[in-house]
Structure 1
Amino acid sequence: MRIVHRIAFRPNWWIAAALLVAAGWWGRPLLSGASFEHGFFGLFWYTMLALATVIWAVPAEQGWDGEALYRRWRLLGLLTLLEHRHAPGEFSRIVLEREAHAFRRDSVWLVFEGGQRFVFGHWRAGAANLAWAEALARQLSAATGLPFAEPGAEAG
């Protein structure tokens, strides 16, 4: 059984691409000025856009392929550039961690715990996302054989 959690090709990924294109279009006047300030700020603006584009273009995906957990960084979500694999024996349990935020909705993290931690995914902590995260944690628990620590259970 394969289980994959990926960011690429979701609506927010495409929205981020549109924002990068809009930011590039918006910064065009910085390139046309003859002053040093225009050139400096233009160089800075487009350097930051290039960095953001690289981060956007190499999204990570986490998954279970039936033998090991993996995290892959893929160029445009298609071509694998780097992959890290972890045997389920490296972990002792699966937990859902809730992170409280002061000014926005809380986050929930699906984490494999053990000698090291492996974050499988995170979402905003709305009711639908909490149910989705718990169902995914149960599915991963069944697939990997690791126990799922119920939300609210004591850490041990």
Structure 2
Amino acid sequence: MIVHRTAFRPGWWIAAALLIAAAWWGQPLLSGASFEHGFFGLFWYTMLALATVLWAVPAEQGWDGHMLYRRWRLLGLATLREQRHAPGEFTRIVLEHEAGVFGWHRVWLVFEGEHRFVFGHWRASASNLAWADALAKQLATATGIPIAEPGAEAG
């Protein structure tokens, strides 16, 4: 079993702390008597509610020995929705490198075939590139799907 999840990593907890801090910071918007305070308070807390829902339902991707899957889990614990894909739907595994606009380059581990299945993405540091490469090789061995040569055109 191979699993890539974002829940319970440090960034996930930092995002929770930022959401709590933003909720605390927005309290004065609710205490004002003017229409503007109420409007901006409603807008602020609506955006925080949306961000909290997105935070509270992280996705995880994995290989269970037979199928690739993506699960959306409430607080990383209870499965709400799951998609499953047979390895026969994909023809190759690709490590895509994306240049960031602000200098943060990313690497994406993608299964390609009739459609694309993103297994994971990381900031493209040397250690993360090695991690992504090792995970791609582990998935190729487990699924029998070949890894595309670097620079191969999408097909």
Cα distance in structure 2, aligned partners of 1:22 and 1:40:
20
Cα distance in structure 1, aligned partners of 2:129 and 2:24:
38
Residue segments in structure 2 that go unaligned for 5+ positions in a row: none
The 3-state SS of whatever aligns with 1:39 is helix
Q: Identity of counterpart residues, as a percentage?
A: 81
**What is the 5 A alignment of 1:119-130?**
119-130=118-129
Cα distance in structure 1, aligned partners of 2:6 and 2:149:
26
**Superposed displacement of residue 155, structure 1:** 4.2
Cα distance in structure 1, aligned partners of 2:71 and 2:101:
32
**What is the 5 A alignment of 1:64-83?**
64-83=63-82
The 3-state SS of whatever aligns with 1:73 is strand
1:144 alignment partner in structure 2: 143
Alignment deviations for residues 71-104 of structure 1 (CA, whole Å, 9 cap, x no partner): 0000000000000000000000001000112322
1:42 corresponds to which letter in structure 2? G
1:22 alignment partner in structure 2: 21
Find runs of 4+ consecutive structure 1 residues off by over 6 angstroms.
none
Contact in 2 for aligned 1:111/1:119 (Cα 8 Å) = yes
1:114 alignment partner in structure 2: 113
Q: How many residues align?
A: 155
Cα distance in structure 2, aligned partners of 1:140 and 1:30:
50
Residue segments in structure 1 that go unaligned for 5+ positions in a row: none
Q: TM-score, normalised by structure 1?
A: 0.97
2:27 corresponds to which letter in structure 1? R
Cα distance in structure 2, aligned partners of 1:17 and 1:56:
7
2:7 alignment partner in structure 1: 8
The 3-state SS of whatever aligns with 1:149 is coil
1:82 corresponds to which letter in structure 2? R
The 3-state SS of whatever aligns with 1:110 is strand
Cα distance in structure 1, aligned partners of 2:81 and 2:153:
35
1:34 alignment partner in structure 2: 33
